[in-house]
Amino acid sequence: MWPGGTEPAPANLSGSWQGIFSYLTAKKAPGCFSATISESDGRLTGEIHDEDGAVAAVRPSFATLEGRRVGRDVRFLKRYVSEAKKYAVIQYLGEINDGATEIAGQWFVPGHSSGSFTMTRSKIISAAGA
């Protein structure tokens, strides 16, 4: 539905998220990540930390996140941070569920790899509930 706008937009996406990604081919195992997202007027910024030790052995575990959200549609770029080597930018295209608690979709590196991903909003524990 990009550029969207016909469906009501779910709640703000700012906060902590846990995710899993898988590859289109079964040759590589799925990986896990955590993300912190800030949303302002549809603009998304943040950071991603890959939690898979095997991935960390071949590329940095820290990446930046930058993108847009229009209605239920989310698009962002994941850029690994490294002074030693330049890594390919990973593109994510997803859709937010009704409660704005999950983002699911596809990721890809043009001409290389692709797969699916799901991100789930981390539960927020209030001070009153602690």
Q: Is 120 exposed, middle or buried, given 0-12, 13-18 or 19+ CB atoms closer than 10 A?
A: middle
Of 58-67, 111-120, 121-130, the range with the highest mean pLDDT is: 111-120
Q: b/e for 21-53, b at 16 or more Cβ within 10 A?
A: beeeeeeeeebebebebebeeeebebebebebe
Please give the Cα distance from 99 to 88 (Å, whole number). 32
Q: Which amino acid is at 90?
A: I
pLDDT tens digits, 23-79 = 988 678 888 999 999 999 999 999 999 986 545 555 668 899 999 999 999 999 999
Higher pLDDT, 11 or 125: 11
Domain residue spans of the chain:
15-121
Predicted confidence at residue 15, as pLDDT, reads 96
The hierarchical CATH code for the domain 15-121 is 2.40.128.30
79, 59 Cβ separation under 8 angstroms: no
Q: Is 59 exposed, middle or buried, given 0-12, 13-18 or 19+ CB atoms closer than 10 A?
A: middle
